Amino acid sequence: MTDAPSVRGSGPAPTLDDVARAAGVSLATASRVLNGSRRRVAESYRQRVEAAARGIGYTANLSAQATARGKASVIALLVADIADPYFGQIASGVARGADESGLVVTIAVTEGDPERETRLVRTLRGLRPHGLILAASREIDVAARLSQELDAFTAAGGRVVALGAGAGDARSVVIDNFGGAQALGAALSELGYRRAVVLAAPAGVRSSDDRVAGFSAGFASAGGVVTQIHHDGYTRDSGYRSMRRALAAGLDGGTLVFGASDMAAVGALIALREAGREAGSDVAVAGFGDTPVSRDVTPSLTTVHIPLDEVGYQALRAAVDSEWEPDATLLSLEVVLRDSTPGADPVRVGSQPAGPA
C-alpha cells in the first residue's frame, strides 16, 4: 500500500499556510493562486498550489477572495417568499447562469417588507458580492429608501439588477405585466365573461398595479367590467382571504376571478371549494405566472405564462456582463387557457411586450 495525500477527516480545517508548506511556496504565492489576485503566478507554481490544496482538502476563504479581488464570487438574490414557486423558478435561472460564470448564489428573503429589504442589502453589501439581484416585488416609493444602500453597493464595485422598475439606476429585466394581463383580460372577455373580480397585492406594488390595469383594459375591450378589486397580497393565504371577502360581498354565477398571481388564484380556488361553489363551471378563475402549481390544481388554472427560468438567467447575465443591452431582456408573455375558464381549450394566445414594467 502506497502513501498518498489525503483529505483530512477531522481536526482543524486546513489553512492557507498549510497549502503553502505542502506546495513549497510562499504564503503570498499560495494566496495569489487560491484567492484570485490580479497578480499573475507562474503556471508551475499554480499547478503545485492547486494540487496541494486538493491533497489536504483546503477550501478557499470567500472573505479572503473578496479582499484580494475587491468582490466575492457570489451573486446575492433577494426574493419575497422562498416557498413561492414563482421565485423558485427565477432562482433556478439565476443559479444556471451563475454556474456558467463560476459564481455561487446566496438567497435572502424579504418577506415583502421594505425595511427588511433595506437591512438585507446593507448586510449583503458587507459580503462584497459580485452582483445583487432584486427579485422581490416592491412598492413604487421604496426606491428612495433603498437608494442609499444601493448607491453604496455600486460605489464599491457591485452591480444591482432589478426585476422591473423601482430600484433607481439599477439595470432592469422587464416582465411585461401590463401587456400580459391585458392579453389575458381580452382573451377571457372574448370567451364571453362580462363580470370580473380581481385579487391583487396592496396598492402601490408596481407589478400588481400593472397587472390590474392591464387586465381591466383588456377585459373592457369586449365589454367586460371589473366589479370588485380586493388588495391583499400574492400568496395563497392572501388569495383565500380576498376570495372570502368577495364571496361575502356577493358573487354571481358566471363571474370571473382574476388572481394577480397563481398562488393568489389557488387561494381563491380553495375558498370557493369551502363555500360550496364550483370553480370553473360556476365561478371562473385565472392567475398570472404559469408556475407548476397552475397545471397541478383541479381545475387546471388559466394563467399568463412568464418564462421565469429565463427571467432569472437574464438577471444573472445583467449582473455579470459588462456589455448588456436592456432592450434584449423584454420578454414576451403568453396567455394559457385551461379548465378553470370553461370552454377554453389548452391553447396559447400570444402577446407582444407593451413596454417596460
| Separation of first and last alpha carbons in the chain | 66
Residues 6+ apart with CB under 8 A from 11: none
> Is 311 domain-assigned?
no
Q: Give average pLDDT by consecutive 10-residue segment, the chain, 357 residues.
A: 44 82 88 70 86 83 55 87 91 94 91 84 85 79 69 84 71 91 96 96 92 98 94 96 96 95 98 96 96 96 96 93 72 92 54 42
Identify whether residues 228 and 163 lie together within a single domain: no
C-alpha cell at 308: 421565469
**Which of 173, 189, 210 is the last residue before a domain boundary?**
173
The pLDDT assigned to 150 comes to 85
Contact of 309 with 89, CB cutoff 8 Å:
yes
> Is 6 domain-assigned?
no
Q: Where are any strands of DSSP class E within 59-207?
A: 72-79, 104-109, 129-134, 159-163, 171-173, 195-200
Identify whether residues 232 and 346 lie together within a single domain: yes
Beta-carbon neighbour count of residue 38 at 10 Å? Answer: 8
The residue range of the domain holding 37 is 16-67
Identify whether residues 102 and 53 lie together within a single domain: no
Identify whether residues 213 and 341 lie together within a single domain: yes
Provide Rg for the chain, Cα atoms. Answer: 25
CA distance 322 to 245: 49
Tell me the HSE value of 71 on the side-chain side, using a 13 A CA sphere: 20
> Is 279 domain-assigned?
yes
With b for 16 or more beta-carbon neighbours within 10 A and e for fewer, the 2-18 pattern comes to eeeeeeeeeeeebebeb
Identify whether residues 62 and 108 lie together within a single domain: no
> Is 22 domain-assigned?
yes
Identify whether residues 194 and 157 lie together within a single domain: no
Identify whether residues 295 and 252 lie together within a single domain: yes
| CATH of residue 102 | 3.40.50.2300
Contact of 78 with 133, CB cutoff 8 Å:
yes
Contact of 357 with 210, CB cutoff 8 Å:
yes
Contact of 355 with 165, CB cutoff 8 Å:
no
CA distance 189 to 335: 13
> Is 48 domain-assigned?
yes
> Is 49 domain-assigned?
yes
Total of domains in the chain: 3
50, with CB counted inside 10 A (0-12, 13-18, 19+), is middle
The pLDDT assigned to 6 comes to 46
Identify whether residues 53 and 26 lie together within a single domain: yes
Identify whether residues 342 and 200 lie together within a single domain: yes
> Is 322 domain-assigned?
no
**Which of 67, 83, 101 is the last residue before a domain boundary?**
67
The pLDDT assigned to 156 comes to 80
C-alpha cell at 32: 495569489
Residue holding cell 411585461? 176
Q: Where are any strands of DSSP class E within the chain?
A: 72-79, 104-109, 129-134, 159-163, 171-173, 195-200, 225-231, 256-259, 284-286, 303-305, 334-336, 348-350
> Is 296 domain-assigned?
yes
Beta-carbon neighbour count of residue 321 at 10 Å? Answer: 13
Q: What is the phi/psi pair of residue 77, to 5°? A: -120, 120
**Which of 148, 173, 198 is the last residue before a domain boundary?**
173
